[in-house]
Amino acid sequence: MSRGIRRAGLTLAILVVYVWFLAATEVSLPRFLRGLPWMADFLRRMVPPDLSVLRSALTGALQTFQIAVVGTTVAALLALPLGFLSARNVVPASVFYPARALLNLFRSIDTMVYALFFVAAVGLGPFPGILAVVTYTVMTLAKLYSEAIEGIEPGPVEAISATGATRLQVLRFGILPQVLPLFASYVLYRLETNIRAATILGFVGAGGIGFYIQTYLRMINYPAASAVLLVLVAMVMGVDFASSRLRARIV
């Protein structure tokens, strides 16, 4: 009985909070409906795409791709030691807890914020973009790596130690063969998400296709902007397709 009352009270409290959130964020259906014609107008002005900007769109897309690939691969390597240092079954608690805390701290800040920071530090262009991608990806990959390491079978590791192998040999022959395919799959997955993350890096001057999207939108040149968006969609879909095919083969 009292349990039922408590549950009803909790439901009511959640509803009240939710309504407050709706009000605070000015959610309004009429306002959305009034905006519909403007959206339609925006989309109408985007067609036909202005294919004369294809060249700069492709240049931008290539740079975004390069930022994502370089950033992801550098991060994939840097995350290796960090991943092992934050795996519960590899290091003592005195190492594990600080390492995990560090990962969670830096992972809570998004690539975009790092981009602002690095643009201020090293200037405009793709390089601060790469630094931003590396910083965020190292943290996410290290976390994924460490979870893969914690999920390994202990039996084979024990068997390798029992042959008189050194700690490094145990790592190489007992642990790595179990986790490397998972690592590769995570890296490919991060590459897919980093391509998307790297598209908006250009908005803050950190290189890539985002610069062109933002520029054309500001110049109210919607046909050009839509041409760039088309290139972007094609690239993201292409990379997603290739990467997911590869991932399916690895694991």
Binding-site member from 55, 108, 155, 248 for other proteins (CB under 8 A): 155
Binding residues for other proteins, rule CB under 8 A, total 20
**Contact between 184 and other proteins (CB under 8 A)?**
no
**Contact between 22 and other proteins (CB under 8 A)?**
no
Stretch that binds other proteins, among 10-18, 112-120, 151-159, 240-248 (CB under 8 A): 151-159
Whole-angstrom distance, CA of residue 243 vs CA of residue 167: 34
Binding-site member from 47, 177, 237, 241 for other proteins (CB under 8 A): 177
CB of 207 to other proteins, least distance (A): 36
Binding-site member from 159, 233, 234, 237 for other proteins (CB under 8 A): 159
Nearby residues of 38 by Cβ (< 8 Å), 6 or more positions away: none
CA angle 105, 143, 239 (to 5 degrees): 110
DSSP state of 146: H
Binding-site member from 168, 218, 248, 249 for other proteins (CB under 8 A): 168
Q: Spell 202-241 as b/e; 16+ CB within 10 A means b.
A: bebbbbbbbbbbbbbeeeebbbbbbbbbebbeebbeebbe
Question: Residue 74 or 165: which CB sits closer to other proteins?
Answer: 165
Stretch that binds other proteins, among 14-22, 53-61, 163-171, 213-221 (CB under 8 A): 163-171
DSSP state of 202: G
**Contact between 178 and other proteins (CB under 8 A)?**
yes
Binding-site member from 24, 36, 162, 220 for other proteins (CB under 8 A): 162
Question: Residue 82 or 160: which CB sits closer to other proteins?
Answer: 160
Nearby residues of 104 by Cβ (< 8 Å), 6 or more positions away: 143
Helix residue ranges per DSSP H, 25-125: 29-46, 54-85, 93-107, 111-122
Question: Residue 65 or 84: which CB sits closer to other proteins?
Answer: 84
Residue from 119, 120, 116, 107 nearest 75 by CA:
107
Structure tokens at 52: 């004369």
Stretch that binds other proteins, among 7-15, 42-50, 173-181, 218-226 (CB under 8 A): 173-181
Binding-site member from 106, 117, 127, 173 for other proteins (CB under 8 A): 173
Rounded to a whole number of angstroms, the CA Rg of the chain reads: 24
CB atoms under 10 Å from CB of 64, counted, come to 31
Binding-site member from 66, 181, 223, 240 for other proteins (CB under 8 A): 181
Could you list the residues that contact other proteins (CB under 8 A)? 153, 155-156, 158-166, 168-169, 172-174, 177-178, 181
